[in-house]
């Protein structure tokens, strides 16, 4: 085991340098986002703005937990441009079958038109 892999595994970080970033800057890839520890100032805006509480600041790193809904608010509101949605994750999310709207279900109301 290399020193680098021994260092990453216990911390629970993502997969390492992103294939989408050819600029030589290290981005940490998670399931749905890439996070840049150099750009990030740990202001917690992404943590606070996330509607599902998916992002947490732990051990001086932003960690993505499992319940991300790919809303993109973290990317839009990050003042340091330290978070990006992973394009493949967004495409996969958009390509999934849409559930049929059921009256009274989330996102619908009695006043909504069919």
Q: Do 70 and 76 meet the contact criterion of CB atoms below 8 Å apart?
A: no
C-alpha distance from residue 18 to each of 31, 36, 40 (Å): 12, 10, 16
Cβ-contact 57, 43 below 8 angstroms = no
Whole-number pLDDT of residue 78: 97
Sign of the four-CA dihedral 71, 74, 77, 80: negative
Residue 68 has pLDDT above 50, yes or no: yes
Query: Rounded CA gap, 63 and 60, in Å?
Result: 9
**pLDDT on residue 97:** 87
3-state secondary structure of 83: strand
In the prediction, which pLDDT does 11 show? Answer: 37
Q: Please state the pTM of the whole predicted model.
A: 0.65
Average pLDDT over residues 35-61: 95
- State the average pLDDT for the chain: 77
* Domains, the chain, ordered by start: 3-95 (3.30.70)
- b/e per residue 21-44 (b: at least 16 CB within 10 A): eeeeeebbbbebbbbbeeebeeee
């Amino acid at each position: 085991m290399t020193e680098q892999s021994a260092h990453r595994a216990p911390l629970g970080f993502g997969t390492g340098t992103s294939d989408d970033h050819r600029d030589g800057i290290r981005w940490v890839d998670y399931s749905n986002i890439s996070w840049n520890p150099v750009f990030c100032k740990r202001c917690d805006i992404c943590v606070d703005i996330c509607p599902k509480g998916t992002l947490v600041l732990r051990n001086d790193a932003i960690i993505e937990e499992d319940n991300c809904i790919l809303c993109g608010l973290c990317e839009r509101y990050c003042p340091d441009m330290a978070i990006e949605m992973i394009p493949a994750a967004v495409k996969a999310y958009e390509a999934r079958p849409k559930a049929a709207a059921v009256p009274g279900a989330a996102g619908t109301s009695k006043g909504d038109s069919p």
